[in-house]
Structure formats: structure tokens, C-alpha cells
């Protein structure tokens, strides 16, 4: 006798998901594939749910990125013991931010949009602005000073990470190396003098030296 057909499975409601699961899965996607590959549809597929179910936890990708920023800041951006001297307090706070972001460069990519932030990281911003004010700047100039420190910090990480990625993807001499190999000492004497060791010199970690010089410049009498 022919067998009766198997009963059809009803899909029913998608499984309930938690905000923690949303953040953990989103973090895995950006860590392995980059921010551009993170979409609400992709995230829902990875979790085994639907985009509509995600909207109970996050309204859009922007809010999801804010959750990721706060998650990373909470896990890795630990408040250090700050020195009493305000100039050193500025340096320590900025260096702590740099160290945390250098370990997770995709976050710099998000933060350079300049409108998203991790609210849990604002304590570090407060320390830098407050230190600049204690050193004699007006609150308005302290904000400008913080912006200069942030641009230097983010830019240093972006340039270093991008350069490292290009060297990893291609072991041929870079365009700069080809140009520097043929510099005319008569036209560019200083660059020709250091051309042979330009790459190792620029690869050195001089962030703290540059940071201190920047802070000294911001606080110099005008």
C-alpha cells in the first residue's frame, strides 16, 4: 500500500532572540568580514531569525553599530589610574583610547563618521577636555584641542592599518618605494638622504612622541 505523505512542518514563529545574541553575532560578522558586510538581513540570517524580529531589539544598522561600540568599550576600554598633573592626564587618557582602538581598527572606521559614539567612552573625552581646561584653555578651545588629539589618534591608526593591509596583500615594492628609489638628490636632497630607510622609520611606533608634541603645542602660550 502507498505510504501516506509526511505531515507538513509548520514554520510558526521564529525563535526568540536576545539583544546579547544580536550583539555577539554582529560583532563576529564585523570582526571577520568588516563593517560593510553587516546588514540587518545578513544578521537575521546568521541568527536564524527574520529582520522584523531584529527590530524589537535595534531599529536600524546605526543603532546596531552604537550597541557594538558600547559593547567594545565596556569590554576593553578600562579606566586607568590617572596622574594628578593635568598635562599627563591628557596623555594617559588619549593613549588608552589609542591602545584600545588599535586592537580593533573597524571601530575607528565607524567613529570617523563623527556622529556615532560609545557613551561609555565619554569618560575619556571628559578627562582630556578637563585636563586642557585645567592647563589654561577655555572650554571652547579645549573642545578644539580634543578634536585635534582625536584626529591625530584616529588618523594614525587608519594609516597604519591600511598600510599593513596593503603590504600583506601584495609583497611587491610599493609605488612609494619605486619613486623613492629614483629620487633626484639635486631637487629633493633631504628625502634622497633618508630614502633607503624611509619605510622602517615611518613604521616605528612614535604615537606617544607625537601625542606629547601635539599636547605641548596646544598648550603653548599664544
d(CA 176, CA 31): 30
Q: What is the pLDDT of residues 58-105, one digit of tens each?
A: 888 888 888 888 888 888 888 999 999 999 999 999 999 999 888 887
Question: What is the chain's Cα-based Rg?
Answer: 24
CB 105 within 8 A of CB 157: yes
Longest pairwise C-alpha distance within the chain: 99
d(CA 53, CA 196): 58
Give me the CATH code for the 79-219 domain, please.
1.10.357.10
Q: Is the pLDDT assigned to residue 13 strictly greater than 60?
A: no
Q: What is the pLDDT of residues 37-60, one digit of tens each?
A: 888 889 988 988 888 888 888 888
Predicted TM-score (pTM) of this structure: 0.78
Strand blocks (E) in 7-100: none
Q: Is the pLDDT assigned to residue 155 strictly greater than 50?
A: yes
Instruction: Identify which of 165, 111, 145 has the alpha carbon closest to the alpha carbon of residue 214.
Output: 145
Instruction: Identify which of 98, 73, 79 has the alpha carbon closest to the alpha carbon of residue 23.
Output: 73
**Element counts in the chain: helices (H) and strands (E):** 12, 0
Amino acid at each position: 500500500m502507498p505510504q501516506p505523505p509526511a505531515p507538513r512542518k509548520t514554520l510558526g514563529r521564529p525563535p526568540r532572540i536576545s539583544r546579547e545574541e544580536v550583539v555577539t553575532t554582529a560583532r563576529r560578522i564585523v570582526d571577520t568580514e568588516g563593517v560593510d558586510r553587516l546588514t540587518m538581513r545578513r544578521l537575521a540570517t546568521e541568527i536564524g531569525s527574520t529582520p522584523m524580529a531584529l527590530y524589537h531589539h535595534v531599529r536600524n544598522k546605526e543603532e546596531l553599530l552604537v550597541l557594538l561600540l558600547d559593547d567594545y568599550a565596556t569590554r576593553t576600554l578600562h579606566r586607568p589610574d590617572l596622574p594628578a598633573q593635568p598635562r599627563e592626564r591628557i596623555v594617559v587618557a588619549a593613549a588608552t583610547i589609542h591602545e584600545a582602538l588599535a586592537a580593533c581598527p573597524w571601530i575607528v572606521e565607524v567613529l570617523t563618521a563623527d556622529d556615532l559614539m560609545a557613551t561609555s567612552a565619554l569618560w575619556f573625552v571628559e578627562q582630556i577636555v578637563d585636563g586642557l581646561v585645567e592647563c589654561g584653555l577655555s572650554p571652547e578651545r579645549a573642545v578644539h584641542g580634543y578634536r585635534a588629539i582625536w584626529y591625530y589618534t584616529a588618523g594614525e591608526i587608519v594609516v597604519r592599518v591600511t598600510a599593513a593591509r596593503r603590504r600583506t596583500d601584495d609583497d611587491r615594492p610599493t609605488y612609494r618605494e619605486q619613486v623613492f628609489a629614483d629620487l633626484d638628490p639635486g631637487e629633493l636632497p633631504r628625502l634622497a638622504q633618508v630614502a633607503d630607510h624611509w619605510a622602517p622609520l615611518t613604521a616605528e611606533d612614535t604615537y606617544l612622541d607625537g601625542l606629547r608634541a601635539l599636547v605641548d603645542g596646544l598648550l603653548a602660550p599664544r
